[in-house]
Structure formats: structure tokens, C-alpha cells
Amino acid sequence: MKVLVTGGAGFIGSHLVDTLMKEEHEVRVLDDLSAGSLENIKRWLDHERFEFIKGDMRDLSVVKKAIGGVDAVFHLAANPEVRIGAQSPELLYETNVAITYNLLEAIKDSAVEYLVFTSSSTVYGDAKVIPTPEDAWLEPISVYGGAKLAAEALISGYAHTFGFRALVLRLANIIGERSNHGVIYDFINKLRMNPKELEILGDGTQKKSYLHVSDTVEGILHIFEHFRRGAKSFDVYNLGNDDWITVKEIAEIVSEEMKLKPLFKFTGGVDGGRGWKGDVKLMLLSIEKAKSTGWKPRMNSYEAVRRTVEELLG
């Protein structure tokens, strides 16, 4: 296939690009490099099957140019920071909803057959059922989660109206090499600055599911192939792990791997121990639907956290 990966220079996107190139697809990346880095994809820059376009998806003409001649679009471009929603909701709208609208406007008049969108577990908010299945009630408690859900809804509407097929993947917390934000990245940087004390947002009992990026990419491509063989215009899958881990346990693993014994200083957080306003305190996705396709993660949450700490420490 000839594929476009939006946000392909970013954390998850660059790992996806690596696999697509190894599978001998023609790959085009569209990225404005606001969150991504050319360093992540430098090994492919001169390859005959690879093309990089630096561009802002808020410009429709840029998006229309980028989708020319492609069969499938993997849409990973987004602002990855959940916390920014409280300070800058308009930025989350522009870099999640508006760019998705532009992409859909470009796709509807094109030959693109498939759109794969990486959404988020945050669309569920404080889930009423845990593990949370795909048909659970959707009530985001952050602007980030709301923006992801808005993008999902637009994609569903466009796919049904304009005749292309769309797959939505709701991701748990994705971690691994090249990540440049999130709790593990933050803990490592804090301990490098002050090895004796570690500030932990919230009360430390926040408990979530973590998936290593290698398992994530494998899951994205496996479920996409399963979806292609089916007949649905639109479908949704959770991608996560069967277990979960607390923030305090993550802090202990990071400290152990760095051979430190810092004093943990909990901020207490907001709204019953959350790290910040809009932080989902408990998240465990049901991945039974994904596993029914033949995929399952190779690492559990604990193993993924430890592997990520090793990778980020180099």
C-alpha cells in the first residue's frame, strides 16, 4: 500500500513508520514537528519508498497535497498533552478536532479507502464499568477527551456519508522509547534534577493500564488487517493491557532502575487524589474485542513500565 502517517515523526507515529517501512509499504509522513522530531525518522529520509512533508494540518491545502495518491491514512497527529486542556482548550480544539475535520474534507474527495485514527481511553471519562468495553457510556472529563470524542464522531459521520472505511483505536497509556511526555518521562527528569526527592502529582493511588509502543504498533496493524478483511464502514477497538499499575508503583520502579531511594512527596492532587483537573483516576480498558482478532500484548503493564524506564535511561 501507499500510506500517509500524520504525526509520523512523533512518538507512536515514528514507531509505526518503522514497521510500515520494514513491511515494504510506500510511506509518506506529514508532521509540523511541534511534538515530533526528524531524529525519530532520520533513517528513512533518503529512502526511495519514503517521503516527508513538513506542514501544518490546520492548512487544508497542505492536507490535500499530502493525501494525493495514498490508499490509507493513519491519523496520529494531535497535541498529546492531556493536561493542556485546562489552560488552552482552543489549542486542543485546533490540534485535535480542526485538523481531523480538514483531513476528512480532503479524504471525501479523494481515492483514500481507509482511515485509521488513534483515539484515547479518555473518551470514557470516569468509566462506570471496569474493565471498560467499547460500547460503554462515553463521558469525557477533560477537554482532551472531549476533543478525541469529537474527532471520532466526525470520522464516523464522514465514513458513513462519503463511502470510505474508518477504524478508531482507543489507546490506553502508551509508553516506550522516544516518548517525550508522561509520568515516566516526568519522574526521570525530576529525579535527575533532585535525586533525593520525587514530587508525585495526586495521592499516588491513581491506577491505569500501560501498553508498550511495540505492542501498540503491532496491535494497530493487526487490527487494521482484520478490519480490512471485514465489511464494516466504521469500527472501534480498545488497545491496552489486561492489568493496571498505580502511580506510586511506577515511581518505585523508576527509583529502583535509577538506583535511588528518594523521599516521595505527594501533592494530594484535586478531586479525590487526581493528578490534575480532568485526570482519570482509574482506567482499565477491556481488550477482549482486540484479543478476539488474534492480537494480545507481549508485555503487561509492569513489564512495559520497566522496559520503558530502561529505554529512556539509555
CA nearest to 50, candidates 72, 73, 20:
20
Ramachandran angles phi, psi of 175, nearest 5°? -135, 160
**Over the chain, what is the mean pLDDT?**
96
- Told to judge if 144 belongs to the known catalytic residues of this protein, a careful annotator would answer yes
- pLDDT of res. 177: 98
pLDDT confidence of residue 80: 78
- Rounded CA separation 33/168 (Å): 24
Per DSSP bridges, beta strands 245-246 and 207-208 are antiparallel
Question: Which domains does the chain show, CATH number per domain?
Answer: 2-174+210-239 (3.40.50.720), 179-209+243-283+298-313 (3.90.25.10)
β-sheet bridge partners, residue 210: 173
Residue 36: predicted pLDDT = 95
Q: Could you tell me the three cell numbers for 179?
A: 516518548
Instruction: Give me the catalytic one of 114, 124, 144, 158.
Output: 144
Residues 6+ apart with CB under 8 A from 128: 136, 137
Contacts (Cβ under 8 Å, ≥6 apart) of 141: 122, 125, 126, 278, 280
Q: Residue ranges of the chain with pLDDT lower than 50?
A: 85
- Per-residue pLDDT, 265: 97
Structure confidence at residue 88 (pLDDT)? 83
The structure's pTM equals 0.97
273-312 pLDDT, tens digit per residue, is 999 889 999 999 999 999 999 999 999 999 999 999 999 9
Q: How far apart are the C-alpha atoms of 57 and 77, rounded to whole Å?
A: 9
